[in-house]
Amino acid sequence: MKKFKHILRPIGIALVMVGVVLALGFVERTADRAPITDIRIDVSGEEGVHFIDELTVRREVLDQGGAVMGAPTHTVDVTHIEDRLRSIPCIAAAEVYHTMDGVLHVQVDQRIPIVRVYNGNGSSFYVDREGWVMPTDPDYTARVLVVTGHVNERGAEAGVYSVYANDSIQHGSLMDDIHRLARYITQDPFWIAMIDHVVVTSDNEFELIPRVGAQRILIGDGTALDQRFKKLRIFYEKGIPRSDWRRYARIDLRYADQIVCTKRTTP
């Protein structure tokens, strides 16, 4: 008897495992045939960024070449929907999947612009936090740092692209420097509050225009940012009282161990 028990036990375990596999397969096939009963959309992004809304995303999902609501889940091409959503310039990432209860889940991440660049011809584009160039939107304007001046860069007319798409060419380029400078400013609440405008000179150097004081702050070509901004911060916090900020027309940070200031000639 003990011998039979010894033989029957592994057979029983094997039969149970086969039953579980068959049951899971049945559940999976049943789930694939279940109709889509609801679409739940989650659009994420920083507070105040509104390039795209749930209604627009829903329209892209429902207009994907076939009926979605009521369709069996296995007939809904989630990869195709993801590709459609990712082709929208303001969308950084998209994930689409369905659950066993017949709900189609759509998760969308918006790009977060940190700077708007104006070319000399009047055209403009955004650059997001990760260095992707994206077009402006006719219905929404992001409140971000603005760059003007001697700029003649490729916009996003032909689609979204990275300023770092080709390191051997882009490294040290104007767009590279603009993105690095914008990231530096927008990562510090103090500089976000102080600086809202950057001008590119004919020498491809940068001048900052603060919200208060209207000075021209020369920081050079965008290198040694930490050193130069640290000097400027000390100058603002300890060098002069706030009431005297308007006395200076020009603050030059390009020299290693000094700040060169030029006073206004008129009040």
Q: Inter-axis angle of helices 174-186 and 225-234, to 10 degrees?
A: 40
113-263 shares the fold of 38-110: no
Of 26-35, 122-131, 151-160, 240-249, the range with the lowest mean pLDDT is: 26-35
Cα separation, 117 vs 46, in Å, equals 20
16 or 116: whose pLDDT is higher?
Answer: 116
Cα separation, 111 vs 113, in Å, equals 6
Domain 113-263 has CATH 3.40.50: yes
* C-alpha angle 120-126-127 in degrees, rounded to nearest 5: 110
pLDDT of res. 204 = 93
Average pLDDT over residues 166-179: 71
145: pLDDT strictly greater than 60 = yes
Domain 38-110 has CATH 3.30.420.40: no
257 or 169: whose pLDDT is higher?
Answer: 257
- What is residue 84's three-state secondary structure? helix
54: pLDDT strictly greater than 50 = yes
Average pLDDT over residues 39-48: 90
Averaged confidence pLDDT in the chain: 84
- Please check whether residue 127 is in contact with residue 163, taking contact to mean a CB–CB distance below 8 angstroms: yes
What is 127-149 written as a DSSP string?
A: EETTSEEE--BTTB----EEEEE
Average pLDDT over residues 156-182: 79
- Please check whether residue 151 is in contact with residue 202, taking contact to mean a CB–CB distance below 8 angstroms: no
5: pLDDT strictly greater than 90 = no
pLDDT of res. 21 = 45
243 or 188: whose pLDDT is higher?
Answer: 188
- Please check whether residue 127 is in contact with residue 113, taking contact to mean a CB–CB distance below 8 angstroms: yes
Average pLDDT over residues 5-28: 51
Average pLDDT over residues 167-183: 77
- What are the pLDDT digits (tens) for 60-91? 888 765 678 888 988 899 999 999 999 999 99
pTM given for the model = 0.81
178: pLDDT strictly greater than 50 = yes
Cα separation, 170 vs 9, in Å, equals 67
Residue 97: CB atoms within 10 A of its CB come to: 12
pLDDT band at 148 (very low <50, low <70, confident <90, very high): very high
- Please check whether residue 104 is in contact with residue 39, taking contact to mean a CB–CB distance below 8 angstroms: yes
195 or 29: whose pLDDT is higher?
Answer: 195
159: pLDDT strictly greater than 80 = yes
Closest CA to 236 of 190, 186, 201: 190
* C-alpha angle 117-207-191 in degrees, rounded to nearest 5: 80
- What are the pLDDT digits (tens) for 207-217? 999 987 778 99
pLDDT of res. 96 = 95
Map out the domains of the chain as residue ranges: 38-110, 113-263
- What is residue 172's three-state secondary structure? coil
Share of the chain above pLDDT 90, in %: 56
Average pLDDT over residues 102-108: 95
- Please check whether residue 130 is in contact with residue 101, taking contact to mean a CB–CB distance below 8 angstroms: no
Positions of E strands within the chain = 38-44, 91-98, 103-110, 113-118, 124-128, 132-134, 145-149, 161-162, 195-200, 206-210, 216-220, 248-252, 260-263
pLDDT of res. 211 = 86
Q: Inter-axis angle of helices 78-86 and 54-62, to 10 degrees?
A: 130
19 or 223: whose pLDDT is higher?
Answer: 223
